[in-house]
Chain A
């Protein structure tokens, strides 16, 4: 992925990719228009370097950049020679007493690596996506037999025993436990807990499909049992998309057995929950804080007083043209995109049903979806795709609000705000010169301890004219208010 970044930084290069030549990757490259005859002949252990550029010269410069970066890495680590083990088996010789395998290899291979890890007695965090559900079931069933844990597949983040795994934020250890079937959802909740002065005992990811009836909460059950038994955990927060009906029934039983205060944020509260069901990730975090402190949870609409919010809306709406009607969300975090979409749906009409970026009205796109990451890094690592979408959405004369998330933490880009600000500036300037005014609303998921430092990112965005709200939910609400039809 770094090779891709290096190559795409070359002027005149439109797209680039550096991927192993597996059949799946070759298909991805072909879809992206990046597969030439040489690449088609590549095998799974070959590295395919593909560049689409305006000129031959630019392509050659990109190729040279990739090759020099690649050979620098090779020189540092000759396979099987200079210290880095080639297999899990030899890694275990190098690290006796290993407890967990963090697996982020391509999905086609991830299941086999996870199986090896379980066979070797390791817990598994499966960051990889594109793992078939049958494999997930096999892994989780075996893990349960062996007293092991499988977080994932498609588990973006976790904090286990204070160790941040995958994309995780720097939060203090504390008394609130999280069990999440969602990556950025877990991050958003953890950051709000940190902001409220609470810490995390454990944050366990179970994988986006765990609460589906196909998987049936195989790991959520274990996660909740582990948090129930964990003496450090005083209150529990359960996060995910709406569970399957049968799994929801089981989940009720598991929560009942917790013996600890519990908050859920499952996107669609039924009102019949016998625990505290929060409507947003922010509310879930605040409710967990309240329950841990023994006070009654109270949901938040806006942190700022009503007058201040009204002024923000007014300032944004006044210079707009009448046909600027729509909210356009351009997201890097999947759960955050869904949360925003849900909030827009409750307040606005003509909202696209999913987060694909389709539809002609209000719409939200999750750029972390596979279709957008063909041969290129995730938008949390690299802002290229986001910049393209910001440009495209803001060029639409009907766009009133550009709604964004900025996710910080270990593993994320060192300066996500700086990555997208040039595109935001260009977009707002282009709108001004066309006689429009574009409102840009964002929230920052992160903490002061994160490598990117939350306050610095907020300050940079604010200086760039972005309205930064304290949470994703508040950002979506404000966007809805700005785009609300007026008489």
Chain B
């Protein structure tokens, strides 16, 4: 508990909450003053205001203060490293991945409730693994209960869109040495008709097999030859080049290709030309690495008692779920929101599945919608202006505890990206975390139909706050 400033003596520095007239007077007299643009907390909901007041004690909670817990949480996120060390088959590295386990994006969901794209991706995965010969066989298998479904997040993994991980798939291995954690993600297949959006026809599966069985070993060899790659620094550079590292990873992918190309060439293993050509045309190739990097860092900051920082946001196409550092492994869920976005020609809002994928882990780490000011090109997806990109990031500072020391945004005078979503601030302000996202067709097998911006449901944060307050010592 910090000692408060003495009441008398010293400089009085004022936070004005209410009549702006008082702040204007003070400012005119040269007094240090900041005026809050006040409105009733939590949209005027008295019960939530009460919860906020109870979770508002920065200085007095025991055994550690909320402020101390959040500081430690932020410290670990800032200090977290993300070294891309190589690629391995998931069965070799992903903890707790049984032979018939299927990992999926978002909070837990049963086959019966899964959305179309997730079912499609699982059908594709069954065909890829050789567990089924036909899509119908795959459906029968999934319905039979012979497969174990579990969220990626329960296995230190993250997956974009459907986020399906099965044992034979290759995964990126990203290590956070500062917190002694690692995280895993599959390889990106490009946009359009791809497995992660629920497509599973022959060309999709052929490409998927090539990526996992031929491209992965080439890149693994190159990475090992390079002695690993610092993904955190690469992300920081990409932010200065127009990426927000969620919906736009064009710069990051280029930087990755540039780093790896000499080693790919030197190793002379496999079809080098095909490998490099794939990197050259796959703008989103780095996305999965960014996600694993964010997961590795945020897992290192998870499980701190008394911390109100969000450590995961994920969607399974039915529900949106969040986890907070101080509330353990519980998910707080609400119906997945619809996405405001731009559709590929021939598609419209009626075609899209609700929000899907683990990629909102990037927002929890200060990227994506939170770093939109770095990537004005992304707002084209919602027909927005560059000013909207700046304002989106500016608003996120209202719900975050700190600013990223490494991820900086040129257009905001190199201000650090808003970092550490505080569940209390989301409930208090009603400002929902902004999430850049892709749009999957709601039926299995079609694929991506657009991209846009989604808002995390406030209800998740309300539940998290309730659980947090319930867990506070009396």
Contacts and interface: CB of A to CB of B under 8 A. Distances in A.
B59 A119 contact: yes
A121 B8 CA distance: 15
A127 B14 CA distance: 14
Contacts of B29: 163-164, 410
A387 interface: no
A94 interface: yes
B205 to A, nearest CB: 46
B15 A84 contact: no
Contacts of B37: 77, 79-80, 84-86
Contacts of A90: 397-398, 425
Given A85-B36, A91-B34, A410-B25, A99 B53 contact: no
A161 B12 contact: yes
B21 interface: yes
B386 to A, nearest CB: 14
B36 A116 contact: no
B340 interface: no
Interface in A132-183: 146-149, 160-166
A167 B21 CA distance: 10
Interface in B361-401: 391, 394-395, 397-398
Given A90-B397, A103-B17, A123-B7, A109 B31 contact: no
Contacts of A121: 2, 4-5, 58-59
B347 interface: no
Nearest to A229: B8
Contact of B13 (A100, A120, A411): A100
Contact of A115 (B2, B56, B397, B428): B56
Interface in B1-51: 1-5, 7-19, 21-23, 25-26, 29, 31-41, 43-44, 49-50
Nearest to A226: B8
B52 interface: yes
A78 B390 CA distance: 13
Contacts of B60: 119, 146
Given A102-B22, A122-B15, A78 B5 contact: no
A44 B43 contact: yes
Contacts of A112: 41, 49-50, 52-53
A159 B234 CA distance: 53
A80 B431 contact: yes
Given A112-B52, A146-B60, A226-B7, A102 B44 contact: no
B12 A99 contact: yes
B175 interface: no
A96 B39 CA distance: 22
A87 B428 CA distance: 8
Contacts of A86: 36-39, 398, 429, 431
Given A95-B15, A163-B12, A88 B36 contact: yes
A80 B398 contact: yes
A147 B7 CA distance: 9
Given A81-B394, A104-B22, A230-B8, A88 B15 contact: yes
A127 B18 CA distance: 9
B43 A43 contact: yes
A251 to B, nearest CB: 20
A193 B379 CA distance: 62
A486 B17 CA distance: 54
A115 B53 contact: yes
Given A98-B34, A120-B58, A161 B11 contact: yes
B180 interface: no
Interface residues of A, number: 63
B428 to A, nearest CB: 6
A109 B41 CA distance: 8
B18 A103 contact: yes
Contacts of A84: 35-37
A148 B25 CA distance: 24
A257 to B, nearest CB: 17
Given A86-B431, A88-B15, A101-B14, A165 B22 contact: yes
A119 B13 contact: no
A116 B391 contact: no
Nearest to B28: A410
A410 B82 CA distance: 55
Given A89-B425, A112-B52, A120-B58, A44 B4 contact: no
B40 A109 contact: yes
Given A90-B397, A109-B41, A161 B8 contact: yes
A405 interface: no
A187 to B, nearest CB: 15
A164 B18 contact: no
Contacts of A163: 12, 14, 26, 29, 31
B229 to A, nearest CB: 34
B422 A85 contact: no
Interface string A215-227: 0000000000011
Given A163-B14, A230-B9, 19 more contacts: A20-B39, A80-B398, A81-B391, A84-B37, A85-B36, A86-B431, A89-B424, A98-B13, A98-B32, A109-B40, A112-B50, A112-B52, A112-B53, A121-B4, A121-B58, A146-B4, A161-B11, A163-B29, A410-B25
Interface of B: 1-5, 7-19, 21-23, 25-26, 29, 31-41, 43-44, 49-50, 52-53, 56-60, 391, 394-395, 397-398, 422, 424-425, 428-431
11 contacts: A45-B40, A79-B39, A84-B36, A91-B34, A95-B32, A98-B34, A102-B22, A119-B58, A123-B5, A123-B7, A163-B12
- Give the 4 A-B CB pairs with smallest separation, nearest first: A44-B44, A104-B18, A84-B37, A99-B5
